[in-house]
Amino acid sequence: MALFAESYAEARRAFRAAMKRLGGRLGSASLPGVGAQGEALSVDWAVVGPAGASGTLLSISGVHGAEGHAGSAAQRAFAAMFDPRELGEDCNLVMIHALNPWGVSHGHRTDADNVDLSRNFCDFDAPLRSNPHYARVHDTICPDRWDDGLSSRVGALFQSMTEELGAAAALTAFTGGQHSHPNGIGFGGVRPSPSHAAFARIVESELSACRRMAYLEWHTGFGDYGRPLVVALDAPGTAPRNRMARWWADQGLQGEDEAFDSGETPDWSGLLLPGLRRLAPHIEIAGAPIEIGTVSNFEAFEAVMIDRWLRLGLELGSADLRSALRARLRAAYDPADPAWRAQVVEIGRSMHVAALRGLRAWQREARAEA
């Protein structure tokens, strides 16, 4: 698919060009480090429509860097068919591109410091939440050496912890996030990351007038192949959850109980959406992270392990092994399959459109109640 870029620099150029075609006002925040091709790194964003709008459609790509090309394609697929006049006078579109540009460029999930941005949006002025069982799994899921028996050992450990603690606690131990092991999985950091700081700057500069928001945060990995999985973070029956469900009821969505074999989900810490609510308590937000499925749940977690091992493993093994593992990493986050990529494009179009339609209706409701 032409919308899928081959590099961070190509995706960045395409995003900025797409936003200019829409008459968007562009912004950029430089980040430390360099890309895989020696290029400078930045978080880019654009505002289309009135700057002081009380309703905002916010779309974010590249929170997990290796997933960024699909998110970028989803954003630009919508931009290619979008008419800014559909925003009206009281809505705007804010798109944030490649929030983790180092990860997008280098093809890694985490940032240059191994920080998982989806675990970094916590309140660092308060005591950081502990993950009491992470230390039990660290040595198994973060090996120095990759060998043929690793998958079975990880599966056996997860099964035993599930039997001992329950599925939710076991999932949290493996994936909930932690601040104790900088070389581990789900490391949330000990301070706001550069991407966190850039995001806070965008919130302050672009979202001060916003009061109601439709939120889309693009990811790949979990869920059925080529289908969207909405990771609903709001409790069933709440107004944001009900509103989001109305928007996306006809999108062929899965629920979390379909995506996780146990029917339970981890207790994640440091997620971006709760972080946004902390940074901008004046905004009512409906929406969620959206996963576009690629591989099985276990294979998706193995990809997280592979990503970490390729960067931080002490015994890197043969070139053939590294090449095979990189191929598995790519298959989990950015499949080359044209049919899958076509699905990403269609999902990007339809879910943005439905969210904007819902936001416009929400704005009308608010005016009627005023």
Rounded Cα distance, 199 and 278, in Å: 12
Q: What domains can you pick out in the chain, each with its CATH number? A: 8-132+175-294+341-369 (3.40.630.10)
- Please answer whether residues 306 and 329 qualify as being in contact, where contact means their C-beta atoms are separated by less than 8 angstroms: yes
pLDDT at 236: 87
Give DSSP secondary structure letters for 50-74.
-TT-SEEEEEE--SSGGGHHHHHHH
CA 52 vs CA 46, 64, 90, 208, 341: distances in Å: 14, 30, 8, 8, 35
- 9: amino acid identity, one letter: A
DSSP E strand boundaries for 226-321: 228-230, 284-293
Rounded Cα distance, 239 and 249, in Å: 15
Q: Give the pTM.
A: 0.96
- Please answer whether residues 44 and 15 qualify as being in contact, where contact means their C-beta atoms are separated by less than 8 angstroms: yes
Where the chain has pLDDT below 50, the residues are none
pLDDT at 266: 87
The torsion angles phi and psi of 42, rounded to 5 degrees, stand at -155, 155
pLDDT tens for each residue of 300-324: 999 999 999 999 987 877 899 999 9
pLDDT at 223: 87
CA geometry: angle 370, 46, 90, nearest 5 deg: 15
Rounded Cα distance, 205 and 200, in Å: 9
Rounded Cα distance, 245 and 102, in Å: 34
pLDDT at 255: 56
Rounded Cα distance, 278 and 269, in Å: 13
